[in-house]
Amino acid sequence: MHAERGLGSVLGLLLGALLQGGCDATLPVEPSAGPHQPWVLPESLRAQVKSTLDRYGDQPAAARGADQRSDPAALDPAHAYSRGELIDLAQRRNPATRAAWEQARQAALATGVPRATLLPRLAASVVGGYQRLSTPVTLPLVGTRTLTTDVQAVIPILTVEWLLFDFGERTSALEVTDHLATVARVQFNQAHQQVVFDVNRAFNAGGAAGRKEAAAGRALAAARQVLAAAETRAQRGVGTRIEIAQANTQLAQAQLSLVQAQGESATARVALNAALGTPHGTLIQLRDSAEGLPAATAEGLDQVIARALVQRPDIVAGVAQLQAAQAGERGVAAAFRPKVGLIASLSTGDNQFSFNGGTTFAVPLQQTGVLIGVTLPLYEGGLRDSRLQSARSRILSAQAAVATTRGAAAAEIAAAYEALRSALAAYHAADVLVAAAGVGSAAARTGFEVGVGTLTDAAAADKALLDAENARADARRNAFDAAATLAFVTAGLTAEPP
């Protein structure tokens, strides 16, 4: 008795522990200990994220284990890349283009679902079974006996189902998926243009930083020349320690300008690696092709806007969304109309049965049937009106989205159009400024060396030349950026320089 009670207590404790554990497992997980403390990322989740990044976050060549020399998307550290080469690499390597392509592919595959509903469905099935039936039978002079019947059969069945007519419901569904596939395609094009745009801006920034580095290097050399002249003048007794201090200050400013230009170059390299989809520490040499400035378009602003609006991916996608909403409304209306369908089946087989374990008899069985049915919805409890109102609301929303996108696009195009013209004018002005500052710098430095000018004038002239060269580098970058922006907002950006 005591043993049974002890066993019962142990079982009761185990059952209670299991129930408690089950209850604990169903409790919601709190985000943190309280509103004052952020949620601590579990180590298991960190490990899962790291594993996923290691598996899918590698670059294309490394992920495929391809030979870097034969992989067209591989980078050559000894090669100086042009703008077009970098754009081609970015289109191959950037994961954004892969993601957009997969989304477009999924949308294209989705069109196969409504297409399949237009065709008949054919299904084959097999039904088999065994049954024993025992029945007591009373016979004269014999008495009661049990009659046992064994029946077994295997019946293959071929069935055809075909929706013949549905007032356009399936056609509307097909139109919806076709329009959504168009949305995905233009979004794929937009992803490519975004990559091209990002590479253009990063390339322009890198080129401007390189020109600033070169200008800072020339300013540094000039500052050293001025310092040497100041020291020479001091040794001859015609200079002062103040001039040497001023020359050292000019040298330090030139060194600062060089460091700042190198920082801009590093920032541009990070942006370029991001656009290419390469590790941020990758060193990429840029080929300064000294390409000419982009030209302003000869078209008027209204012509540019009219041409761009019909090809911009966001507007094309908005129109396709509107068409999908309109097709969806037609599909909702058709869903509550009659449907006509056909069902046909063919089955054949043998029924085998025996009595009291005796001789087995086989009875062939063949069945063919064709049915045509009509379905007519009579009452849906307000479902039809609710779905129609929802579909019409989606149409109104899509119409408003198209109008909003059109207005925003026109504003973007107008701003980019004027920005390009302003940037080109600013570059020409900066070019004239560099020429004038160069003459002044050379004259001031020569005058100081021969004793007819002051070091202050030479330092100011050199500083003016450096500022002018930096302004021209920025103006050149702004001109190319403005051209790329105008091409981007008009959906005309390609791998060629804008």
Residues 395 and 436 in one domain: yes
Residue 297: inside a domain: yes
Report pLDDT digits (tens) over 87-115. Answer: 888 888 888 888 888 888 898 888 888 88
pLDDT surpasses 70 at 20: no
Residue 38: inside a domain: no
Q: DSSP characters for 55-112?
A: HHSS-HHHHHT--TTT-TT---TTPEE-HHHHHHHHHHH-HHHHHHHHHHHHHHHHTH
Q: Which of 376, 405, 424 is the last residue of a domain?
A: 376
In this structure, the number of other CB atoms found within 10 A of the CB of residue 297 comes to 17
DSSP count for the chain of H helices, then E strands: 12, 6
Binned at pLDDT 50, 70 and 90, residue 8 comes out as low
Task: Give the pLDDT score at 66.
Answer: 42
Residues 290 and 364 in one domain: no
Q: Which of 323, 350, 376 is the last residue of a domain?
A: 376
What are 160's two structure tokens? 């055809």
Task: Give the pLDDT score at 347.
Answer: 83
Q: Which of 346, 376, 406 is the last residue of a domain?
A: 376
Worst-scoring range by mean pLDDT, 47-51, 72-76, 297-301, 397-401? 72-76
Rounded Cα gap, residues 490 and 64, in angstroms: 36
Residues 289 and 413 in one domain: yes
What global pTM score does this model have?
0.75
Q: Which domain holds residue 410?
A: 95-119+167-209+223-240+274-336+389-489
Residues 171 and 143 in one domain: no
Strand partners, 361: 353
Residue 180: inside a domain: yes
Residue 22: inside a domain: no
Residues 360 and 426 in one domain: no
For residue 445, the domain's CATH number is 1.20.1600.10
Residue 152: inside a domain: yes
Report pLDDT digits (tens) over 120-140. Answer: 999 988 888 877 777 777 767
Rounded Cα gap, residues 287 and 331, in angstroms: 56
Residues 126 and 203 in one domain: no
Report pLDDT digits (tens) over 330-365. Answer: 999 998 889 999 999 888 877 666 666 666 666 677
Residues 422 and 462 in one domain: yes
What are 205's two structure tokens? 């920034």
In 151-300, which residue ranges form alpha helices assigned H by DSSP?
Answer: 169-236, 241-276
Residue 427: inside a domain: yes
Report pLDDT digits (tens) over 205-229. Answer: 888 888 888 888 988 888 888 888 8
Cβ neighbors of 28 (< 8 A, separation 6 or more) are none
What b/e readout covers 44-72, taking b as 16+ CB neighbours within 10 angstroms?
eeeeeeeeeeeeeeebbbeeeeeeeeebe
First to last CA, the chain: 96
CA dist list (Å): 103 to 186, 188, 198, 400:
11, 8, 21, 25
Binned at pLDDT 50, 70 and 90, residue 28 comes out as low
Residue 130: inside a domain: yes
CA triple 140-144-150, angle to 5 deg: 115
Residues 315 and 193 in one domain: yes
CB distance 350 to 362 below 8 Å? yes
Task: Give the pLDDT score at 322.
Answer: 93
Residue 14: inside a domain: no
Total domain count, the chain: 2
What are 44's two structure tokens? 């298991």
Residues 345 and 480 in one domain: no
Residues 465 and 401 in one domain: yes
Report pLDDT digits (tens) over 149-190. Answer: 777 778 888 999 988 988 888 899 999 999 999 999 988 888
Residues 102 and 231 in one domain: yes
For residue 364, the domain's CATH number is 2.20.200
| Average pLDDT, rounded, for the chain | 82
Residues 195 and 325 in one domain: yes
CB distance 432 to 475 below 8 Å? no
